[in-house]
Amino acid sequence: MAEDRRVLTGEHFLSGDHACAEGGMAAGCMFFGGYPITPSTEIAERMSERLPEVGGIFIQMEDELASMNSILGASWGGWKSMTCTSGPGFSLMMENLGLGVVLETPTVLVNIQRGGPSTGLPTLSGQADMMQAKWGSHGDYEIIAVAPNSPQEIFDFTVKAFNLSELYRVPVLVMSDESVGHMTEKVVIPPADKLGVVSRRFTKKKPGEYLPYEFGEDEIPDMVKAGDGYRIHVTGLTHDKRGYPVIDAETQDWMVRHLINKIQKNKRKIIEVEEINMDDAEVVIVSYGISSRVAHRGMDLAREQGIKVGMLRLIVVWPFCDYIIRELAEKVKAFVTVELNFGQIALEVERCAGGKAGCYLVPHAGGDVHNPEDILEVIKEAAK
């Protein structure tokens, strides 16, 4: 197959959805199982055209339950895999996002968020799935989620999501939104050797020596793929390092602690934020995705009025940058969270601020982006 079709190095004018598909291609994705849903469908459409060019496989599954499972199966078959969805499709994927977490399966799930709840606003923007991204599947676990704010970033962060999923053996969520998915901007795709693509860490052990969930200091077990003679068994049941089900509190404690520790212990390596105008900031905007672009305008309006306001833009949203908020809370006057919901990440900011700084929210039900003037008003209130 034409491997030169994998990375379309150069300058492009792409929608966010198409840039996301190119990010998957560039990261080495070979399998896409998905189900059409607005506003994410264009990712699936582009993958259906692009994957066969490199010998990969696109399959349109019967629903989102099947889509999520198919990408887990493909990952255990040895291929990098992804899916995309929106709104109710994200809810359907939650069941087997949990299976992906427990089997420690590298894969990527893109959510082009739209307004909810239920069918909501299929064609309009929202950011109200952020807590679902963290808690959506039953049980305790840790997840990684990134939030791009432009077509360039959805390309870059999809590559990043694949890398993080391979490094930490966890499904990684690209939590974008309809505004970014459907906006068209310049996207620069670097040469393949500049992408920094991470390959899967397969075990060097021989069959018989290898245990699927044995890990060292970094808490990340090495992987194998089906058909390599290791004769592994893995299960969604609580299991020990052999992968065998063990139904008791002790094994549950070992396994769940491991699923949490492998992310929490490594969170300073995983978390990424952008700091803007933070040197003298007394008020800090916390925002991500499309809202961060509108909040930037709100920040500029406030600066024009002499208010010392900066922005902490979340690139990796989960795990949450609790230690950064805690440090800031010691020295700033207030946080203003700007997001297209009625307070999701704002709850995390409030939790981490611990009463040491004021916490404000600029809420929005979705369907549109914020008015920068509304953000300005809250900044002025916070700066008092």
Note the residues at the interface with another protein (CB under 8 A): 1-2, 30-31, 33, 52-53, 55, 57, 59, 61-63, 65-67, 69-79, 81, 95-96, 98-99, 103, 225-237, 244-245
Q: Which is nearer to another protein, 235 or 277 (CB)?
A: 235
Nearer Cβ to another protein (232/378)? 232
Nearest residue (CB) to another protein, 5 versus 257? 5
Nearer to another protein, 117 or 236 (CB): 236
The count of C-alpha atoms lying within 13 angstroms of the C-alpha of 237, restricted to the half-sphere facing its C-beta, is: 13
CB of 76 to another protein, least distance (A): 6
Q: Which is nearer to another protein, 191 or 227 (CB)?
A: 227
Nearer of residues 244 and 254 to another protein, judged by Cβ: 244
* Cβ at position 166, least distance to another protein in Å: 15
Distance of alpha carbon 344 from alpha carbon 324, whole angstroms: 18
- Round to whole Å and give the CA distance between 210 and 222: 9
Least separation in angstroms between residue 104's CB and another protein is 13
334: left (phi over 0), alpha (psi -120 to 50) or beta: beta
Neighbour tally for 256: CB within 10 Å? 16
Q: Report, in Å, the least distance between residue 230 CB and another protein.
A: 7
- Other beta carbons within 10 Å of 197: 17
Q: 85 or 96, CB closer to another protein?
A: 96
Instruction: Please count the other Cβ atoms lying within 10 Å of the Cβ belonging to residue 147.
Output: 31
For residue 318, which amino acid is it?
A: W
Q: How far is the CB of 288 from another protein (least distance, A)?
A: 31
Torsion angle in degrees (nearest 10) through CA of 275, 278, 283, 288: -10
CB of 245 to another protein, least distance (A): 7
Q: Please give the Cα distance from 374 to 363 (Å, whole number).
A: 10
- Separation CA 173–CA 111 (nearest Å): 7
Closest CA to 180 of 311, 47, 19, 33: 19
Residue with smaller CB distance to another protein, 53 or 275: 53
Closest-CA residue to 67 (of 99, 20, 27, 22): 99
- The distance of closest approach from Cβ of residue 35 to another protein in the complex, given in angstroms and rounded to an integer, is 11
Task: Pick the closer one to another protein by CB: 5 or 351.
Answer: 5
Q: Distance between CA atoms of 282 and 310, rounded to whole angstroms?
A: 8
Rounded least distance, CB 61 to another protein, Å: 6
Measured from the CB atom, the residue of 230 and 318 that comes closer to another protein is 230
- Tokens standing for residue 371: 């008015």
Q: Minimal distance in Å, beta carbon 239 to another protein?
A: 9
CA distance 125 to 177: 6
Closest CA to 145 of 348, 364, 351, 353: 348
For the record, the structure tokens of 351 come out as 């939790």
Neighbours of 310 (CB within 10 A): 19
Q: Residues near 282 by Cβ (< 8 Å), separated by ≥ 6?
A: 307, 308, 309, 332, 333, 334, 383
| Smallest distance, another protein to C-beta of residue 25, A | 14
